[in-house]
Structure 1
Amino acid sequence: MSAAAEVLHDEIAEQPRAWRGLLARDAEIAAVAGALGALDPPLVRIAAHGTSDHAAIYASYLLRALRGWTVVRDSMSMPLYYGVPAARPGEVAIGISQSGETPDVVAWLTRAGEAGATTVAITNGEGSALAQVADHVLYVGVGAERSIAATKTYTGTLAVLALLAGHLAGRGPALAAGLASAADAADVLLGGLDAVVAPVASALAGIDRMYLVARGIELATANEIALKLTEVCYLGAKAMSATAMAHGPVAALDADVPLWAIAAPDGTLPAVTEAAQRAQEAGAPVIASGPAASELGGAAHVLTVPALDEPLLSPLLSVLPGQAFAWALARAKGIDPGAPRHLRKVTSAA
């Protein structure tokens, strides 16, 4: 195993410890929540790219579920290239960038502030350009992430968002306790995950395409796993809502194009179950993951994660099998998962 591959593997394992570190700074997050809660904005805009945009998907569900706010993942192109105002007075604009140096996210947040919005930066980069232009800063603070593929900065961002939303809803202590429990569950899960994903990676080493489906809050997980499989394993991996599977993509499924289905034990389960059944009818192998993975009958591979008492935190655990599988599949394909081709590290960290 290369040194770079070891770094990625180590950073996957570091995630529970990183979440616990955030709990020590919960008061800082509570203070920002207090300032935002007093505004009660008519609209929350979020801008981000890549992994950070997947965290924005999570945020859009979380802030709606816990506080009732309307959230949009906003277009940066409209204000930056077409002259449209980035925001309106009274709104909240959140820029998410692991490095804090993504130029268009910085420019968008700057313009949103100039347009009268209250601005928030969520970043792992202390003293970064994004932090300097924001009214409020929430530092992910998971330490330097050296691997090219982001892992701990992604789940660290989810954890920050969960604590923020918890305080906004008056449930800060409950979400903090839930995060501590999630870290404990993740330690146990990660302890045996390599052995669980290794045979799945071996069985699927010949694939070059995959679809991933979920609904609701786990849609962030589907998108993040798809990105990891694309950048680390060079798969043509695409994530979508489970209900979108029937609108064309099911035609591409066959024995060589698996479906990864992320199942949660809530009202979204029937849609995910139906997508898995459609895939099986098309002859595609199904990989079932998530806390309700065992509910998807007939799956070729099952990667179950523990169900949490606070289900809104489930995406922190649900992404872990995907990260571990991407690392294992790359190795099964003869690819160095720590040194994906054509990529350079975007994320810098304090």
Structure 2
Amino acid sequence: MTPNAASDGRQTLMEQEAGEAAAAVARMLEANRDAVAAIGRHLRASPPAAVVTCARGSSDHAATYAKYLIETMTGTPTASAALSIASLYDAPAVAGNRLCLAISQSGKSPDLLAAVEQQRDAGAFVVALVNAHDTPLAKLSDVVIPLSAGIERSVAATKSYICSLAAIAALVAAWAEDATLEDALTTLPAQLAEAFALDWSPAVAAYRGATNLFVLGRGYGLGVAQEAALKFKETSGLHAESFSAAEVRHGPMAIVGDAFHILAFGGSDRAAVSVREAATEFRGRGATVLLADPGGGDLPAIAAHPAIEPILLIQSFYRMASALALARGHNPDSPPHLNKVTETL
């Protein structure tokens, strides 16, 4: 049986769908070119005082990526909404000129809708990134960016998450009029296909028997570290936690020793320096450390624009995660106790 094959020789749905990300991103970028440009013009003409993101799960990890990209490229303070403030506490939001960025696969979770409605009623300009069609979220939004990922049958979201990251990068590039990032997005689909083919099988061997694991990232890479930690738990039953390479030094690093496992996401920007430093330190303590870094590491990675590299890293990760789940005796397409659509109140 090949590392990512099910017992009958087929690919898992998770691997198959992740492998469709390159085509999905190309489709999404082309379909939304005019809409993204229009959003950029609107935000420059009426600059928001702040950005509020509304999301849960993998979509909230995309929101982490959005925070770093928006704040570094536009200087606009960006924060994730606590959805329960609207759905459980019925607390109003202070009126103001904000961008509300709502990110969702289904576009129908009640707490998400409550938070978006709260922001809209307070005067926010609402942009929704959503994969499903004709959703309640679309009706609350000023502009909808369809993620165009297509149907995902695996419970574990893959290509829709990658499309979310690409849509965020396109939106921020248009807002900031950043030609370098816009150019980088044109080559992203081809690079995603290349990233999917990279050999991360050493991670399957390293983490097959693991019980605890940290995933490290920083800056643009923190959101994909969060996503990887979720996928370890969701698909492999492996207890994994994500940390900024800076935050891990504020207490969590005390438990890292020779029985611990680390996956570290590097990159080509300044934030990745501390990731490599933490990886080196933890390796010196005897931990099993794998560094994925375009500058050279234990796992291969593709060098690109610093904001694009995390998207490529998570694409390589998804294929490995499917194989790891099978190696640990789990079905990544149907994790226990989980449904494809989670509707929280």
Report the TM-score when normalising by structure 1: 0.90
1:288 aligns with 2:295: no
Partner SS, residue 304 of structure 1: coil
Greater CA drift, 115-124 or 155-164: 115-124
Q: Distance in 1 between matches of 2:109 and 2:89?
A: 19
Tell me, what secondary structure is at the counterpart of 1:148? coil
1:24-63 correspondence to structure 2 within 5 Å: 24-25=30-31, 26-63=33-70
| Equivalence for 1:184 | 190
What does 1:298-309 correspond to in 2, within 5 Å?
Answer: 302-308=298-304
Q: How many residues align?
A: 336
1:96 aligns with 2:117: no
Whether 1:235 aligns to 2:238 is yes
Higher helix share: 1
CA contact (8 A) 1:95 1:106 kept: no
C-alpha displacement at 1:290, in angstroms? 3.2
1:297 corresponds to which residue?
A: none
Q: Judge conservation of contact 1:303–1:321 (CA < 8 Å) in 2.
A: no
Displacement after TM superposition at 1:189 (Å): 2.5
Whether 2:22 is the aligned partner of 1:16: answer: yes
Query: What is the CA deviation profile of residues 29-72 of structure 1, one whole-angstrom value per residue up to 9, with x for unaligned ones?
Result: 21222223322011111111010000001111111222221111
Q: Which residue in 2 is equivalent to 1:200?
A: 203
Residue equivalent to 1:264:
267
RMSD in angstroms over aligned alpha carbons?
Answer: 1.9
Q: Is the 8 A contact 1:262 1:289 kept in 2?
A: yes
Contact 1:5 1:336 in 2 (8 A): no
1:200, distance to aligned residue in structure 2 (A): 2.8
Q: Distance in 1 between matches of 2:94 and 2:68?
A: 20
For 1:85 and 1:116, how far apart are their aligned partners in 2? 12
- Shift of the 201–137 alpha-carbon distance from structure 1 to 2, 3 Å rule, reads same
Deviation at 1:83, TM superposition (A): 4.1
Q: C-alpha offsets along residues 3-46 of structure 1, whole Å, 9 cap, x if unaligned?
A: 89522111111111111112222112212222233220111111
3-state SS, counterpart of residue 288 of structure 1: strand
CA distance in 2, matches of 1:285, 1:313: 27
1:125 aligned partner, one-letter code: A
Alpha-carbon distance change, 80 to 293 in structure 1, aligned in 2, over 3 angstroms: farther
Deviation at 1:293, TM superposition (A): 4.4
* Secondary structure in structure 2 of the residue aligned to 1:210: strand
Alpha-carbon distance, 1:313 to partner: 1.5
Q: Which amino acid aligns with 1:8?
A: M
1:71–1:203 CA distance, 2 compared to 1 (3 A): closer
Say which of 109, 118, 123 aligns to 2:116.
109
Pair 1:24–1:347, CA change in 2 (3 A) = farther
**Aligned position for 1:343:** 338
AA aligned to 2:228 is I
Give the deviation of 1:198 after TM superposition: 2.7
How far off its partner does 1:2 sit?
5.7
81 and 261 in structure 1: CA distance in 2 versus 1, 3 angstrom threshold: same
Q: CA deviation at 1:169?
A: 1.2
Distance, in Å, in 2 between the alignment partners of 1:2 and 1:127 is 37
Shift of residue 204, structure 1, vs aligned partner? 2.5
Where 2:223 maps in the other structure, the secondary structure is helix
Q: Judging changes above 3 Å, is the alpha-carbon distance between structure 1 residues 93 and 203 closer, same or farther for their aligned structure 2 residues?
A: closer
Q: Is the 8 A contact 1:14 1:152 kept in 2?
A: yes
The equivalent position to 1:245 in structure 2, one of 244, 248, 251, is 248
Relative to structure 1, is the Cα distance of residues 88 and 290 closer, same or farther in structure 2, using a 3 angstrom cutoff? Answer: farther
The alpha carbon displacement at 1:347 in A equals: 7.5
Contact map agreement 2:232 2:240 (CA 8 A) in 1 = yes
Q: Is the 8 A contact 1:78 1:86 kept in 2?
A: no
AA aligned to 1:330 is A
CA contact (8 A) 1:293 1:304 kept: yes
Question: Which residue number corresponds to residue 81 of structure 1?
Answer: 88
Q: Matched residues in 2 for 1:50 and 1:38: separation?
A: 32
Question: Higher mean Cα deviation, 62-71 or 247-256?
Answer: 247-256
* Partner of residue 326 from structure 1, selected from 311, 321, 326: 321
Deviation larger for 73-82 or 49-58: 73-82
CA distance in 1, matches of 2:96, 2:7: 51
| Contact 2:200/2:300 (<8 A) preserved | no
Q: Distance in 2 between matches of 1:169 and 1:33?
A: 7
Counterpart of 2:222 in structure 1 is 219
The 8 Å contact of residues 124 and 153 in structure 1, kept in 2 or not, is answered as: yes
Task: Identify if the C-alpha distance between structure 1 residues 87 and 79 changes in structure 2 by more than 3 Å, giving closer, same or farther.
Answer: farther
Gaps of 5+ in 1: 295-301
Residue in 2 that maps onto 1:70: 77
Structure 1 CA distance for aligned equivalents of residues 293 and 232 of structure 2 = 17
